[in-house]
Homo-oligomer: A and B are copies of this chain.
Amino acid sequence: MPVNYATPAADQLFPVAGVRLGVAEAEIRKKNRRDLTLVALDAGCTVAGVFTQNRFCAAPVQLCRNHLAAGKEIRALVINTGIANAGTGEPGRQTAQASCAAVAELLGIAADQVLPFSTGVILEPLPVDRLKAGLPAARADLRADNWHAAAHAIMTTDTLAKAASRRVTVGGKTISISGISKGAGMIKPNMATMLGFVATDAGIAQPMLDKLVKEAADASFNCITVDGDTSTNDSFVMIATGQSGAAFASDSDAGWPEVKAAIVAVAVELAQAIVRDGEGATKFIEVRVQGGRDEAECKQVAYAIARSPLVKTAFFASDPNLGRILAAVGYAGIQDLDVERVRLWLGNVLVAEHGGRADTYQEAEGARVMAEAEISVRAHLARGEAEATVWTCDLSYEYVKINAEYRS
């Protein structure tokens, strides 16, 4: 069960003028489930994306990069679950290409105006004929108020659909922002997560959107881990339709800070939802590292803690086994770290300083924090002013069960 997360109701997800979504059952890998999503964009949108750094990146990821780089206006997204179309070589690129061509024909646009996305099992061929056969039903389903259905249709091992919305009014114009994401395992994004999509009806000039998508990913999807495995298909795409009438062409435009904050907030909510629904998760853990020389080393220490199976099983057991956290700080790879100066807090309880357990620490205090469903770990390195935050979940029997049985 996810930790303190529930999918918003359909009417809590605001339509974004210029974006219509449709879903269908294409039987990509299993029957009787909606596994195909089509997103149609009106003319005049800007689109930007960031993608996995995994060298075995999936065929659709390669096409997304190419199509975005080509610079034509993007008019559609096609997303399937069940099969990742990763580790599929040249035939995989051909099926991804064929998917784009089929969407293009259906919508009267060019194939390189389509961005394809796949998620699911790696190394299996994508049954492109089934995908194509499902497209007309998805087109018939296209609606602006269909974010809820789309959030469900992109799930794999997710137990709940993930979606978030915000509205912000600037200069008398109301701007809507909606987004969906999926992912529960193979989560340690390096640029973006499994799949994340955020759209707004603000107009955002392409250079600003290119910058924003990276900033938002760095503040959200690039701060999470479930199991430390970086997926082959990570993709995070941002769409700005401009149909609210509010448009931004420069960082200094009035209202931009508020709009940007709302967009980043949606991305953070979607990223955290992935961790809250992490495979087998029973706890949501925020790891904050402060006092580093730069953000990179803070993140390095935070991820060492957040990735450690020993730390994660201790959280599962609600056991304040703090030595495991200290050990992770120690092996994070900061060669000149002075451990005598490191301080560690569990919630608001100071647990370690001067290279050992804090004199004031009481095990009962640690146990009280560990028993909670949301736990904050904070380490201060005392060597600078930088900080970074990472979100993760615990490691439970259920994680092993889910991943031992994934393909069965």
Contacts and interface: CB of A to CB of B under 8 A. Distances in A.
A385 interface: no
A379 B408 CA distance: 26
Nearest to A315: B404
Interface string A308-328: 111001101101011110111
Contacts of A397: 397, 400-401
Interface string A383-408: 00000000000011101110111111
Nearest to A401: B397
A405 to B, nearest CB: 7
A397 B89 CA distance: 34
Nearest to A91: B356
Contacts of A232: 323, 326-327, 330
Contact of A399 (B56, B229, B309, B331): B309
Interface in A122-136: 122-124
Contacts of A326: 56, 86-87, 122-123, 232
Interface residues of A, number: 69
Contacts of A396: 400
A299 to B, nearest CB: 15
Contacts of A54: 327, 330-331
Contact of A331 (B229, B352, B401): B229
> Do most interface residues of chain A lie in helix, strand or loop, or is the interface mixed?
loop
A311 B53 CA distance: 19
Interface stretch (A97-105, A244-252, A333-341): A333-341
Interface string A50-79: 000111110000000000000000000000
A55 B334 CA distance: 8
A303 to B, nearest CB: 12
A331 to B, nearest CB: 4
A279 to B, nearest CB: 9
Contacts of A399: 309, 313, 400
Contacts of A321: 121-122, 406-407
A356 B316 contact: no
Given A53-B331, A337-B55, A323 B84 contact: yes
A310 B87 contact: no
A408 B363 CA distance: 13
A9 B68 CA distance: 66
A37 interface: no
Contacts of A195: none
A143 B167 CA distance: 78
Nearest to A322: B123
Contacts of A229: 308-310, 324, 327-328, 331
Nearest to A231: B327
Given A232-B327, A319-B406, A339 B55 contact: yes
A216 B275 CA distance: 41
B407 A327 contact: no
B309 A354 contact: no
Contacts of A340: 89
A122 B323 contact: yes
B89 A316 contact: no
Interface of A: 53-57, 84, 86-92, 121-124, 185-186, 188, 190, 227-232, 307-310, 313-314, 316-317, 319, 321-324, 326-332, 334-335, 337, 339-340, 352, 354-357, 395-397, 399-401, 403-408
12 contacts: A55-B329, A56-B339, A86-B323, A89-B340, A92-B356, A122-B321, A229-B331, A230-B327, A232-B326, A309-B399, A310-B403, A319-B406
